[in-house]
């Protein structure tokens, strides 16, 4: 099976077979690996565009990003369902927020391709401010406090992973500000997790 086939099968199992609410970007990201600009269309068509990024840009991006586990969990499907309901009801705020997040994807693609990493934190912050408007439960007083503490310590922006409400947060910390951010977030009781970018997605093979 090719990458598109694997990703689509994973989507069908999770979203259709198991009835779990959510999008399909995670499945395609896992199947393809690397840096991609993904396009999703209403007719179920998906186009994955691999991005050619200089290794030095990838190295600096990886060094400047911190992955922080907040220590809290949430039922993401409930938040996603609330987002869907907001769009179905044609609520102005959630729809505008989604359009802004689409705009954010284009801004991030250009910044990374051109190696303008100084813009990454600001673009993440731009997206975070709009993501919170998509539905109730995406943020909380604790998450807001963590985010503001990270920015006060030198992070220029960040985001919450997935639907929001808890789980992991990511912060962009230019220069050597990562160390001050790590120190500032110690009081919240979460954990920083190691990560690295990979050029490859899911791999399969046949045993002899």
Q: Where in the sequence numbering do the catalytic residues fall?
A: 26
Pull the structure tokens for residue 135: 């539905």
Establish how many alpha carbons lie within 13 A of residue 61's alpha carbon, considering only the half-sphere containing its beta carbon.
21
Q: Where are the domains of the chain?
A: 1-51, 55-193
User: To which CATH superfamily is domain 55-193 assigned?
Assistant: GHMP kinase, C-terminal domain (3.30.70.890)
Residue 126 above 80 pLDDT? yes
CA-based torsion, 41, 44, 45, 50: positive or negative: positive
pLDDT in tens, 142-198: 899 999 999 999 999 999 887 666 789 999 999 999 999 999 999 999 999 999 999
Q: What is the pLDDT of residue 79?
A: 62
């Amino acid at each position: 099976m090719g990458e598109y086939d694997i990703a689509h099968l994973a989507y069908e199992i999770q979203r259709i077979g198991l009835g779990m609410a959510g999008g399909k970007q995670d499945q395609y990201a896992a199947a393809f690996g690397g840096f991609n600009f993904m396009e999703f269309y209403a007719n179920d068509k998906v186009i994955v565009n691999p991005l050619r990024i200089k290794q030095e840009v990838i190295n600096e991006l990886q060094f400047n990003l911190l992955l922080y586990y907040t220590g809290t969990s949430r039922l993401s499907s409930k938040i996603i369902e609330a987002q869907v309901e907001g769009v179905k009801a044609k609520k102005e705020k959630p729809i505008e927020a989604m359009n802004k997040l689409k705009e954010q994807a284009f801004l991030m693609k250009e910044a990374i391709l051109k190696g303008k990493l100084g813009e990454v934190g600001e673009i993440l912050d731009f997206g975070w401010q709009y993501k919170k408007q998509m539905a109730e439960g995406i943020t909380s007083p604790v998450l807001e406090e963590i985010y503001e503490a990270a920015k006060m310590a030198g992070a220029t922006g960040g985001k919450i992973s997935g639907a929001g409400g808890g789980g992991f947060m990511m912060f962009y910390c230019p220069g050597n500000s990562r160390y001050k951010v790590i120190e500032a977030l110690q009081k919240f009781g979460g954990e920083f997790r190691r990560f690295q970018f990979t050029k490859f997605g899911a791999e399969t093979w046949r045993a002899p």
